Structure 1
Amino acid sequence: MKQIKVRCTDPFQAYSGTNLLYEVKEGDELTADLYEETEEYFATDSQGREVYVGCLDMDGNLVLSEFELVEEGAYKHDAV
């Protein structure tokens, strides 16, 4: 699975009614996984909630939403 590392450029939150779906603060760095079926990237916020990061356009170019690319091909490392 392709991964990217991104940094939040503007803080934002998403709600469903009064329920907080996710929250990302400016400067937060997240590792996002590509969901190949829809060509969308998703990461998790500090509370483990799924966050939409961006997608690939029709030409395969990365389009980010509220984020900037830090690193392509990033890998998640589990603490030992």
Structure 2
Amino acid sequence: MITLLNQLAGQSSPPSSDEPWPELPPPDDLWPRIHARIPDDENDSRSLRWPLIIAGLVGILIGVVICLSLLLQLHPVP
């Protein structure tokens, strides 16, 4: 993840170390350069609006079906 952030910012990767969690550069130095390289096109987000709504509704319906099937399995049969 750190390597990817540095690549997006146009910096070289930090040298590898034995530390389990390497230090990130201060966000004030890194984020403006990354944000400048991300395209900011509102038309892209508008084209994804309905597919995301449909995918969300399908996910909710699948969740409801799973919950109902689990509840029916827990219901004691006389």
Query: Normalising TM by the smaller chain, what interval?
Result: under 0.3
Q: TM-score, normalising length from structure 2?
A: 0.23
Q: TM-score, normalising length from structure 1?
A: 0.23
| Higher RCO (Cα < 8 Å, 6 or more apart) | 1
Answer 1 or 2: which has greater strand percent.
Answer: 1
Is the radius of gyration larger for structure 1 or structure 2?
A: 2
